[in-house]
A = this chain, B = another copy of it.
């Protein structure tokens, strides 16, 4: 779990790699189409794809002469779950502080 999140968050800490994910949530795409919008040599772009692949975020397969790239959604869901949990715990803490502040307010009005 820790290593999943390490490699997932590391993979997402780059705008090119996030752009690839943003494209692939709309459906699979060939490498050439993924590369086209990026002003970057193909070998550099392929390094980004390898980083996404080693983080388990994409897989690719040869279809004839074209290599198609697919997204793997499970790591996205895992990271979203982690973030949602942190937010929930933080909100609970904030709610407790507000209740405490209200109880102090009520107590001071009784004086």
Verify A2–B15 contact, CB threshold 8 A: yes
The distance from the CB of A78 to the nearest CB of chain B, in whole angstroms, is 10
Chain B residue at minimum C-beta to C-beta distance from A28? B93
Oligomeric state, in copies: 2
- Whether A89 contacts B26 in the complex (CB less than 8 A), given A18-B5, A80-B80, A84-B80, comes out as yes
**Considering the complex of A and B, which 8 residue pairs feature the smallest CB-CB distances, nearest first?**
A9-B13, A10-B13, A25-B90, A9-B12, A80-B83, A25-B89, A2-B15, A9-B9
Residues of A in contact with B (beta carbons under 8 Å apart): 2, 5-10, 12-15, 18, 21-22, 25-27, 71, 73, 76-77, 79-80, 82-84, 86-87, 89-90, 93
